[in-house]
């Protein structure tokens, strides 16, 4: 039997994230073309990696139909010009799709089945809204397997506010405004742009263009401005468009390798995978998922929360981040948490977001050689959480 090998994160990139809908950046751009752009950029940025040495391409999409279907890991690999000898597959774990693509191929690398792999995700929510074409089994509700709110993410966020009365709408809005402020600063400081791949776009009105920055951030967002927004999921509720992630389009990807193979090829890894865990929770309070997944990942790694110097938490909803921080006793304005801001500003193209977290953590690791461990974590639709712990190689 092969013994387990260290798995390293070599490089990660993403397209700018667009707003979904007829006026969004990618309204007339195919989902698979977004993935192709990411794969090509990873190969371009890593000239020491011969394309034929890529052993697998795992690409996640939540809605696997149309231009996000056809086993997108394989079809995008072929479209990107990788050798036909490179296989690929598709993954679905809703919001944690790209994260699961990473952990799946990482397991293969550790086992010895692969040396190098590309993992990522795409979601074109403008072309394929969440839940398009699905047919939930009536037993979910008739047998009360889940609460009726479980299938509407915004309602699960309202349920979290119910469960944690200390997390008020005011706290959620303040957190959202801080996220927007951090993203604006990260852009101003040039922290985001190095990992964005300029992506060709086309509209009937304007013809061809280039997407070079995220479309969703709203710099200058104030708590006062957020306070007046509607609460679409509940009358007099607490969840608004301002303290939630948006509906977005975008793709991400990264190169993972065995540590010894990265050294052999002359690739410079940014971080090492220490442990990962997924956990299930009641679907109607999906947002608490990162708490048990993080506890499990810490246990597997033999670490405590105090060992973690940087956190990248996907901001599906402000309330879900605050529930995590409160549980672990971390201040909501902590510099350890989402240093460059998060999905409330960047957007959350479901299956792609996990690798955005990793790419941002890797860049922060490069700036912070004093930090040894970091976490990427997210809540997942249908009541799950996912967490990956990374070690800084800087």
Task: Please give the positions annotated as active site.
Answer: 95, 348, 379
User: How far does the chain reach from its first CA to its final CA, in angstroms?
Assistant: 32
Token pair, residue 52, equals 């034929």
Q: How far is CA 138 from the centre of its chain?
A: 30
Q: Where are the beta strands (DSSP E) in 69-158?
A: 88-91, 116-124
Q: Where are the beta strands (DSSP E) in 199-305?
A: 199-203, 207-211, 248-258, 271-280
The secondary structure of residue 134, as a DSSP letter, is: -
Give the DSSP letter string of 287-330.
GGTHHHHHHHHHHHHT--GGGEEEEEE--SBHHHHHHHHHHHT-
Instruction: Determine the Cα–Cα distance for residues 195 and 193; give it in Å rounded to an integer.
Output: 5
Cβ pair 107, 2 in contact under 8 A: no
**Coil/strand/helix, residue 82:** coil
Strand partners, 123: 250
Instruction: Determine the Cα–Cα distance for residues 152 and 310; give it in Å rounded to an integer.
Output: 30
**Coil/strand/helix, residue 186:** helix
Cβ pair 59, 40 in contact under 8 A: no
Torsion of CA 262, 267, 268, 272, to 10 degrees: -30
């Amino acid at each position: 039997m092969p013994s387990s090998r260290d798995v390293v994160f070599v490089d990660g990139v993403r397209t700018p994230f667009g707003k979904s809908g007829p006026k969004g950046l990618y309204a007339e751009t195919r989902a698979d073309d977004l993935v192709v752009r990411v794969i090509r950029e990873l190969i371009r940025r890593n000239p020491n990696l011969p394309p034929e040495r890529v052993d697998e391409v795992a690409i996640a999409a939540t809605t696997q139909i149309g231009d996000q279907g056809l086993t997108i890991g394989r079809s995008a690999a072929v479209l990107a010009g990788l050798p036909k000898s490179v296989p690929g597959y598709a993954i679905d774990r809703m919001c944690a799709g790209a994260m699961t693509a990473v952990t799946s191929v990482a397991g293969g690398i550790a086992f010895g089945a692969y040396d190098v792999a590309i993992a990522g995700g795409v979601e074109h929510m403008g072309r394929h809204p969440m839940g398009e074409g699905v047919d939930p089994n009536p037993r979910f509700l008739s047998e009360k397997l889940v609460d009726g709110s479980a299938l509407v993410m915004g309602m699960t966020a309202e349920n979290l506010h119910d469960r944690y009365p200390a997390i008020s709408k005011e706290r959620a809005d303040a957190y959202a405004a801080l996220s927007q402020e951090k993203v604006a600063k990260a852009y101003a400081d040039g922290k985001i742009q190095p990992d964005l791949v300029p992506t060709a776009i086309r509209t009937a009105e304007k013809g061809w263009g280039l997407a070079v920055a995220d479309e969703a951030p709203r710099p200058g967002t104030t708590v006062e401005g957020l306070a007046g927004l509607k609460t679409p999921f509940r009358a007099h509720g607490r969840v608004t468009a301002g303290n939630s992630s948006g509906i977005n389009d975008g793709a991400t990807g990264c190169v993972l390798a065995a540590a010894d193979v990265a050294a052999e090829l002359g690739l410079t890894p940014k971080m090492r995978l220490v442990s990962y865990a997924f956990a299930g929770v009641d679907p109607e309070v999906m947002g608490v998922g990162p708490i048990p997944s993080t506890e499990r990942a810490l246990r597997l790694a033999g670490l405590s929360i105090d060992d973690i110097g940087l956190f990248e938490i996907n901001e599906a909803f402000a309330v879900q981040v605050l529930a995590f921080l409160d549980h672990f006793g971390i201040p909501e304005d902590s510099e350890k948490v989402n240093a460059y801001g998060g999905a409330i500003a960047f957007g959350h193209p479901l299956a792609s977001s996990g690798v955005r977290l990793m790419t941002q953590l890797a860049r922060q690791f490069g700036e912070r050689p004093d930090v040894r461990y970091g976490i990427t974590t997210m809540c997942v639709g249908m009541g799950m959480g996912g967490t990956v712990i990374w070690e800084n190689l800087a």
